[in-house]
Structure 1
Amino acid sequence: MKTQVVIVGAGPAGLLLAHLLKAEGVDCVVLERQSGPYVLSRIRAGVLEQITVSLMERLGLDARIKAEGLPHDGFNLADGERLIRIDIKALTGKQVMVYGQTELTRDLMDAAGPRGLHLIYEAGDVTLHDVESDAPFVTYTVEGAEQRMDARFIVGCDGFHGPSRQSIPASVARSFERVYPFGWLGILADVPPCNHELIYANHDRFALASQRSPVRSRYYIDVPTTERIEDWSDDRVWDELNIRLGPEAAAHITRGPSIEKSIAPLRSFVFEPMRHGSLLLCGDSAHIVPPTGAKGLNLAASDVHYASEALVAYFRKNDADAVVAYSDKALARVWKAERFSWSLTKLMHRFPDDGPFERRMQVAELDYIASSEAAQRSIAENYVGLPV
């Protein structure tokens, strides 16, 4: 089989890219090692920047986002005694949209068939070949039989553990990583949120009050990486949230049984370059951000925006320079998002090596943010997403 672009990975990044290319008349095939239901079962982020919403609008796939999404004009930083509200609408003129990544993926999947996207699920042993040439190809297996897909370009949207990044030789690769000494224990429950906006809480330990809908809440607490989810009953999580979020938020917490509970490790990771030969990387295959600030999915969307523009320019205008420029353009935004996520993580979490000095610095920074419109504007600009 032959196509113009092979996309490895049918998560939101891969599906979004496939829709954008198809809309511009670029042939593509998406390979996914898991089943469709498995992809939808993954619980992920729920705050969308304007870049992500605008791409769905461009595709005409924003009906459910507009009907069910929750526009947010601000969010809160809590220091144990007060809520410091960051009014992103007043400071930037923009909003973010609370809408689960699972629902966004569902919208993209549901539209794939009617729009003629070629998706191959449960593709095993995906291997990339000749990525440095102008004629790369991918081999994979379906029900035990090996298949081959030839293309002009391959785009890796296959996550941190996928094969795409591994296809770039070590001689040209550079990676930058910070592994954090804690993870986020997340609980999803069908209960009303404790606040109509998100709350990032700086206490003796970190907590986050988030939401997916007016009747579904998502909460997080940070825990040491040695913790086991089996040791955290629902009641223990709720008790901890009541302490960490502070009295104002705790007074409005509604308890309920969890419908999902898990611990996610935190890391900052960037891989360079994001293009090598005929291979482009998008999303988690090239970078990971801690979830503080909700940049992961949105950063993947900006990668897809740049990659789709470059590939369309190549096939419609024979503009090879656009593909060459992809990595530098994407990485410029990646590093700014990494900076924001890292700085917010440092501000709101207690690290094991932190002492009284580091704690005083957090207090001083939060006091400065509370009293400075300039500081709040900087946070707001980064939170809603920097320009693409």
Structure 2
Amino acid sequence: MPTTEEIPVVIIGAGAAGLTLATLLDTAKVPCIVLERQDRTYIEGRQRAGVVDARGVRMFERWGLADQLLAGPVAQTIDYRVNGVGRVFEIAGDNGSEGRFCTQQMLVNNLLRELIDMRGGDVRFDVTDVTITDEDGQRPQVRYTREGQVHTIACDHIAGCDADRGVSRASIPASVLTTISHEFGYAWLAVLVEAPVVAHPIMAASDHGFVAQLPRGPQRSRYYLQCPLSDGTQDWPHARIWDEIRLRLNDDTIPDAVVLDCEVVPLRSVVHAPMQHRNIYLAGDAAHLVPPTGAKGMNMALYDVDVLAQALVDAVNSDDGSTLAGYSATVLPRVWKYQEFSAWMTDMMHDGGDPTQNGAFRQMTARARLDELFSSPVAARLHSDFQRGVA
């Protein structure tokens, strides 16, 4: 006969946001259960963009988790190119912890090991049919199916870390949420290849369109090529991909390499507010999306769960719900700062490319903004501060 478990917090989603939140709560002795629809092997191998910024590093240090989860110091650089001519921008920071390095995939794998293998945390993979009941005046319940059995968890708080199309935000009445979105009008062809970044990560504006190469492990990288929203992967055979990469980087010496995966990703920005309703609290992509140009998606999620974790600790351990009540109002100003930076980066790198997109005037003013990063100490410092997450 099905039974109902009881626990203070249920977290839906075992990506960077959900696993970080669960580890923070475990550190503070707040019991929680994490539900994830994929299996552990899939989560461990899933490729996601982003590097933990300086604010995120300080968060893990504050919670006493940096040594377990983050790697050592590394220089953070970007090779900004215009029609093949590159200039290396070094992200300026202070001495000490801000130079610690961790990609999203590295962080997720470290979190899985720390939370499950080292601490015995309760992460339940391969769950389906997750439903949330959160009626006014009643204790929330989360139901799910696993191995053919229906399970019910009664809880006090539900953290929705299940991305853009998950059940958490869908469980909040549409009349409660205001959705603000911006479509950039183009997409990226995201191509995972068996070829490392040989020097610095590349972000390039070209008369033929935007292209980037970013690391995805020691032997792999992901290329991003600007393309029309109407394109599908069938429009990009492997030979065309490599020809276009060489054209946009103005480098005929780049060899073909094995293409492991490709997909078309429309560039858009979205914010759903408020990020909480009754006992459901949204974090990460469940609450907001940014174009990947600014590499802020994961760091926005880490900021969310840092604030949410402390609020849940106050509510569960100290019976103080005041910080939890103010969760959405606390994090949304930072969300909009990250949105502004990501939109600025996206416009600069794409307007500065193919002039048929938005005209020669926008192209040249965007390139002037890029030049400022190398000629103006003020612009360089501001750019560094946003990249580091301290602006």
TM-score by length of 1: 0.90
Structure-2 separation of matches of 1:224 and 1:127: 37
C-alpha contact 2:187 2:264 (8 A) present in aligned 1: yes
Q: 1:286 maps to which residue?
A: 287
- Runs of at least 5 residues in structure 2 that lack an aligned partner in the other structure: none
C-alpha contact 1:71 1:95 (8 A) present in aligned 2: no
Structure-2 separation of matches of 1:373 and 1:138: 52
Q: How does 1:83-122 map to 2 (within 5 A)?
A: 83-89=86-92, 95=98, 99-111=102-114, 112-122=116-126
Q: How does 1:251-270 map to 2 (within 5 A)?
A: 253-270=254-271
**Secondary structure of the structure 2 residue equivalent to 1:159:** coil
C-alpha contact 1:164 1:285 (8 A) present in aligned 2: yes
Q: Counterpart amino acid of 1:207?
A: V
Q: Offset at 1:62?
A: 4.4
Q: How does 1:59-70 map to 2 (within 5 A)?
A: 60=65, 62-63=67-68, 65-66=70-71
- Runs of at least 5 residues in structure 1 that lack an aligned partner in the other structure: none
CA 1:300 to 1:340, structure 2 compared with 1: closer, same or farther past 3 Å?
same
Q: Counterpart amino acid of 1:76?
A: D
C-alpha contact 1:155 1:281 (8 A) present in aligned 2: yes
Matching of residue 176 in structure 1 with residue 180 in structure 2? yes
Q: How does 1:286-365 map to 2 (within 5 A)?
A: 286-350=287-351, 354-365=358-369
Structure-2 separation of matches of 1:346 and 1:4: 43
Structure-1 separation of matches of 2:87 and 2:366: 14
Structure-2 separation of matches of 1:43 and 1:73: 20
CA 1:272 to 1:96, structure 2 compared with 1: closer, same or farther past 3 Å?
farther
Q: 1:186 maps to which residue?
A: 190
Q: 2:378 maps to which residue?
A: 374
Q: Counterpart amino acid of 2:119?
A: R
CA shift digits 1:239-290 (9 cap, x unpaired): 212221245xx65x45421233322222100000011121111000000000
C-alpha contact 1:133 1:277 (8 A) present in aligned 2: no
Q: Counterpart amino acid of 1:109?
A: L
Which has the higher mean CA deviation after the structures are superposed, 370-379 or 213-222? 213-222
**Secondary structure of the structure 2 residue equivalent to 1:192:** coil
Q: Offset at 1:81?
A: 5.2
Structure-1 separation of matches of 2:76 and 2:43: 30
CA 1:132 to 1:287, structure 2 compared with 1: closer, same or farther past 3 Å?
farther
CA 1:303 to 1:107, structure 2 compared with 1: closer, same or farther past 3 Å?
same
C-alpha contact 1:132 1:277 (8 A) present in aligned 2: yes
1:200 to 199, 203, 206: 203
Q: Offset at 1:379?
A: 1.1
1:51 to 51, 55, 65: 55
Structure-2 separation of matches of 1:107 and 1:92: 24
Q: Counterpart amino acid of 1:107?
A: N
C-alpha contact 1:191 1:217 (8 A) present in aligned 2: yes
**Secondary structure of the structure 1 residue equivalent to 2:333:** helix
C-alpha contact 1:91 1:380 (8 A) present in aligned 2: no
Please provide the CA RMSD for this pair: 2.5
C-alpha contact 1:198 1:211 (8 A) present in aligned 2: yes
Matching of residue 20 in structure 1 with residue 58 in structure 2? no
CA 1:131 to 1:92, structure 2 compared with 1: closer, same or farther past 3 Å?
farther
Q: 2:229 maps to which residue?
A: 225
C-alpha contact 2:267 2:291 (8 A) present in aligned 1: yes
**Secondary structure of the structure 2 residue equivalent to 1:185:** strand
Q: 2:155 maps to which residue?
A: 151
Q: 1:386 maps to which residue?
A: 390
C-alpha contact 2:188 2:266 (8 A) present in aligned 1: yes
**Secondary structure of the structure 2 residue equivalent to 1:30:** strand
Structure-2 separation of matches of 1:362 and 1:233: 31
C-alpha contact 1:9 1:30 (8 A) present in aligned 2: yes
Structure-2 separation of matches of 1:92 and 1:382: 17
C-alpha contact 1:52 1:302 (8 A) present in aligned 2: yes
Q: Counterpart amino acid of 2:299?
A: N
C-alpha contact 2:54 2:390 (8 A) present in aligned 1: no
CA 1:143 to 1:214, structure 2 compared with 1: closer, same or farther past 3 Å?
closer
1:241 to 236, 242, 245: 245
Paired-residue identity, %: 35
C-alpha contact 1:123 1:142 (8 A) present in aligned 2: yes
TM-score by length of 2: 0.89
**Secondary structure of the structure 2 residue equivalent to 1:151:** strand
Structure-1 separation of matches of 2:64 and 2:373: 38
CA 1:374 to 1:92, structure 2 compared with 1: closer, same or farther past 3 Å?
farther
Q: Counterpart amino acid of 2:188?
A: W
Structure-2 separation of matches of 1:80 and 1:94: 35
Q: Counterpart amino acid of 1:146?
A: V
CA 1:132 to 1:298, structure 2 compared with 1: closer, same or farther past 3 Å?
farther
Q: Offset at 1:211?
A: 1.2
CA shift digits 1:62-95 (9 cap, x unpaired): 457426xx72333232222533433222589875
